Amino acid sequence: MQLNVDGLRALAAGEFRAARTAFGAAADLDPAAPALWLNVAKAARLLGDDRDEHSALDRVLALDARDLTALIRKAELCQRCGEVAEATRLWSGVLQIAPPAAERSPALAALLTEAQAFVAERTAAFTVELDRGLAGTGVDAAERRRFDAAVDAATGRRRIYANECAGMHVPFLPADEFFDRAHFPWLAAIEAETPAIRAELAALLADGAPGLQPYVAMQPGVPVNKWTPLDGSLDWGAYYLWKYGAPVADALARCPATAAALAALPKADLPGRAPTAFFSLLRPGTHIPPHTGVSNARAIVHLPLIVPPRCSLRVGGEVRSWTEGEALVFDDTIEHEAWNDSSKLRAVLIFDVWNPYLSATERDLLRRFFDIADRSGFYPPSDD
């Protein structure tokens, strides 16, 4: 189109007013051409006419709401005009639809780096203001936990993790990272047995822990993966008291106080699958990589027995340190990992119970399902 050519020539000559007139006439003749409106916006920007530029960019975005150039130019315009909230929204959108790093030109890469810094700065300022505004509400931390997670996700301080089940996935259960203690009124009873349970573990360790086995034991031929460093290693060792629904008689006989404490609990009971209970031993410097469990029908309980400093557990977006004698209960189908960055052994009693959100009827139906599945050979027990 000759009018657009005339505008480009005028632009190159520094005749911005003439360029704006030519581009405007071209756009009026072909209003569905985003490139023409981008030229109008450029001429308006060079003339310092913010309102005209804004209008032209809106015409582009009305044609294509994901036009990257128009979004960038409008974000720059809003930032330049002090419209900080709108600039933040627009730059966030630009960052979401920008091409992968390998496909960016040096100029675009530099611009996006500045955009990330701008959004990060604004988000940090907002979170400070938010934290200040929400402080002193008098609401108990446990009651605020879900709300705080929502706020942290909204401000980019954490992500929300979904269940990833290798086996049976019960839908519609809350994907709770750490379960509230109120679901488990019996926790205090087993916590009270911590000294006796720890004493039995200490006796086992003094005797060389016969029966201790690597927690990770892959089948021959499995390709190298994240578990390879722990395969066949006692860096993460397990001393089983119950395994896949069956008692380990010798281990229970050696640990009568632990056996009695476990017997008093409402453990998950799925023949061939649950309960499982074991002393989990993590040697110094060992990292259990991020992973997910088999089924969200269960909840995993950790009773910390020996916990040196610099030992922690991440479940989803929350990291907690173990405290000896204080149980943690979590959903292991949410991505989790653990570290022992100390120079000493970390030991935890681990066992599984039913997910507290399951009804008694659902638990019974699950038992029947697995009984039928096992007899048919359709759904073999997991080795997790």
Q: What is the pLDDT of residues 171-190, one digit of tens each?
A: 999 999 999 999 999 999 99
Beta-carbon contacts of residue 214 (< 8 Å; ≥ 6 apart) = 230, 231, 232, 233, 234, 236, 237, 238
- Whether 135 maps to a domain, the answer reads no
Residue 380 has pLDDT above 70, yes or no: no
Q: In the listed set 100, 124, 148, which residue is the last one of a domain according to the structure?
A: 124
- Whether 384 maps to a domain, the answer reads no
- 235, 353: one domain: yes
Task: Give the residue among 65, 30, 59 at the shortest CA–CA distance from 44.
Answer: 59
- Whether 357 maps to a domain, the answer reads yes
Exposure letters 245-282 (e unless 16+ CB within 10 A, then b): bebbeebbebbeebbebbeebebbebeebbbbbbbbbb
- 229, 314: one domain: yes
Number of domains the chain is built from:
2
Q: What does the longest C-alpha to C-alpha distance in the chain come to?
A: 95
- 118, 185: one domain: no
Q: Which token pair is 150?
A: 């929502």
- 188, 295: one domain: yes
Q: What is the pLDDT of residue 148?
A: 85
- Whether 261 maps to a domain, the answer reads yes
Look over the chain and give the mean of its residue pLDDT values, rounded to a whole number.
93
Sheet-wide strand order for 311-315? 286-291, 336-340, 311-315, 318-321
| pLDDT, tens only, 208-262 | 999 999 999 999 999 999 999 999 999 999 999 999 999 999 999 999 999 999 9
**Are 241 and 259 in contact, with CB atoms under 8 Å apart?**
yes
- Whether 139 maps to a domain, the answer reads no
Task: Give the residue among 340, 361, 320 at the shortest CA–CA distance from 181.
Answer: 320
Q: In the listed set 124, 143, 173, which residue is the last one of a domain according to the structure?
A: 124
- Whether 283 maps to a domain, the answer reads yes
- 336, 243: one domain: yes
Pairwise CA distance, residues 346 & 308, whole Å: 6
Q: What is the pLDDT of residue 157?
A: 83
- 58, 193: one domain: no
Residue 65 has pLDDT above 70, yes or no: yes
Q: In the listed set 83, 99, 124, which residue is the last one of a domain according to the structure?
A: 124
**Other beta carbons less than 10 A from residue 365's beta carbon:** 12
Residues in the chain, total: 384
Domain residue limits at 82: 2-124
- Whether 206 maps to a domain, the answer reads yes
Q: Indicate which CATH number applies to the domain containing 56.
A: 1.25.40.10
- 200, 304: one domain: yes
Residue 384 has pLDDT above 70, yes or no: no
| pLDDT, tens only, 191-214 | 999 999 999 999 999 999 999 999
Task: Give the residue among 18, 299, 276 at the shortest CA–CA distance from 176.
Answer: 299
Reported confidence tier of residue 156, pLDDT bands at 50, 70, 90: confident
Q: What is the pLDDT of residue 335?
A: 97
- 213, 336: one domain: yes
- 247, 361: one domain: yes
| pLDDT, tens only, 338-371 | 999 999 999 999 999 999 999 999 999 999 998 8
Q: What is the pLDDT of residue 283?
A: 98
- Whether 67 maps to a domain, the answer reads yes
Q: What is the pLDDT of residue 242?
A: 97
- 214, 283: one domain: yes
Q: Which token pair is 126?
A: 């907002």
- 208, 282: one domain: yes
Reported confidence tier of residue 382, pLDDT bands at 50, 70, 90: low
For residue 275, whether the previous peptide bond is cis, meaning omega lies within 30 degrees of 0, is yes
Q: Indicate which CATH number applies to the domain containing 324.
A: 2.60.120.330
- 96, 235: one domain: no
pLDDT mean over 123-146: 80
Residue 290 has pLDDT above 70, yes or no: yes
Pairwise CA distance, residues 220 & 98, whole Å: 44
